Structure 1
Amino acid sequence: MRRGVRGSVVTLVLAVALGLGRMAGAADYPAREIELIVSFPAGGPADTSARIIGPRLAALLGQPVVVVNKPGGGGAVGADYVAKAKPDGYTVYAATNSPLTISPHLTKSLPYKTSDFAPLGAYAVDLGVITTRAGGPARTLEEFVEYARKNPGKLSYGSAGFGTVSFFTMELFKLAYGLDLTHVPFQGTGPVKNAMLGGHVTVATSGFGSLSPLIRSGDLVALVTTAPARVKEFPAVPTMAEKGHSEASLNIWMGLYVPVKTPRPVQDALARALATAARDPAVAGALEKAGMHADYKDAAETQRLLDAESSTVGKVVERLGLQKQ
């Protein structure tokens, strides 16, 4: 009996100690550098927005926040890295929507599940634009569609990878206008821009944040935007919605996530910092200057957005007849 009581006491003491340890760890958070994982290369909206909000998060949290790029697999490499990271709040996923709402419907063997992540919130949106190289066969949407229809299978489009927003947007564009374009995947928006400028692909899409400098310089021609309304900086560029294709109006939005088993107090600390940073006029101004827009949503709103977009994507994938690869 005495041995049983002693064993119970030891078990209770260990349980209390472990609980206090977790509480102390959460109370001391953060105590060191935080990694902000971007699953695409430098030069794209995920990377640019992370580098804008990172310094403000660092100031609020009192520890360095370092952006680390882990590209590959249409965002799967970086997503998997975070999903399998220690859930202690020191590895945060700075994600676009595609690895969480599109890739699961198009990739056979993803190494992660969307349920592996807990959202902290969304903070920015990059409105999409479909572009072609200046000096090419088209200067307007109508000219491009006419030329593509006369040259089926001879033109190509570049994307940031299979299953990304850019891939999905171009597949919707093809469906809307009945075009036969060959897909050429890359590992992010930066390489796609270089391929377009070099004439290696005919057309591509990304956000205005990535492509607007090249549109302003005259190197690229904006054919159409996936924004819900015309973008004030480029009022002559029509929208897919006004052309009768509102279902093709998919945009890139950015959020922060942590491994799902991250302690709630740590999630809350990060979420509070994100809410403050995302509402900072300096952050909003920097995003605007980069061609993006501040668009804060809390964790619950972000989860609803994920669920709704994933449902929509699933239905469109079925309608398009796209097969998992």
Structure 2
Amino acid sequence: MFSRRTGALFLVSAVLFGGTFVAAKAGLAHLPPLFFVAVRFDIGAVVLAAYAATSLSRAELRPRTVGDVVGILATGLLVIGLTNALLFVGQQYTTSGVAAVVFSLNPILTPVFAALLLSEDRLSVRGSAGMVVGLLGVGLVADPDPSALLGGGIAIPLLFCGAATSALGAVVIRRAEATMSSTARTVWGVPLAAVLSHALSLSAGESVPGLSMPPIALAALLYVGVFSGAIAYLTYFALVDEAGATRANLLFYFVPVVSAIGGWAVLGETLPVASLVGFGVIFTGFLIVSGPPVALPASIRRALRERIARGRL
């Protein structure tokens, strides 16, 4: 179950990450994907450095254990850097609806890695059922073209690898048992993600001289740099520490909801009835996973016990 604090972290992370799909759609029309990601984290690194200089001591920022180093590397290279590189490149070749559905496999993949690497983060049968219900809701919200979702091409493998990388990284962070705070790990991780993204951009031969930066591209870049590149990761990694990787990554079911509403409000996209139904289905799946246990009425429990005692059940 989510406490008031974890609920707030969940909501902020979902809203800020959901805006990423809207901003990415606007920015990718003007910027190469890997360079877009790299500059995004350049901005995020500057914002976090300023925050750390005023809010964190050197002792809080200093890695002390192997777990701290592993946590920093998993944060910067896996969850932030490689995940976003795969997401932005893959989103070039398909619709945002398909990208949302594939990337929303993250909550399904997280328990798989948790089962291999953790002992306390496994889901019950009820939790697994909630995951499936949530994924069905994502499909209704995103409403992807089946031919695009099932067809070939490079987009689906890239997006799937991005979802898997994000899920694996979150579980590795949990397993590392770092002594550093999630905030300190993020301060280190975002610059690592920027370096990785610049290296990938250079190796891919992306051309950046003479790029035009219309106001919409600049606004998209500032959004993904400050809000979903710095603030969102601070709240997300705090959520992973408090709720565990499996439950924290349920927020990726709500990302398409925010993206759909943002696309309607900012980009003038339609919001069909199926999407509104999907919102309710996603929320139902979330309640199944994280809601309080449902107890059978006393009369039913008594009748079941009597049947078991008589050997009829």
Give the structure with the higher percent strand.
Answer: 1
Report which structure shows greater RCO (CA 8 Å, sep ≥6). 2
Task: Tell me, yes or no, whether TM beats 0.5.
Answer: no
Give the structure with the higher percent helix.
Answer: 2
TM range (shorter): under 0.3
- Alignment TM-score, normalising by the size of structure 2: 0.24
Pair member with larger Rg: 1
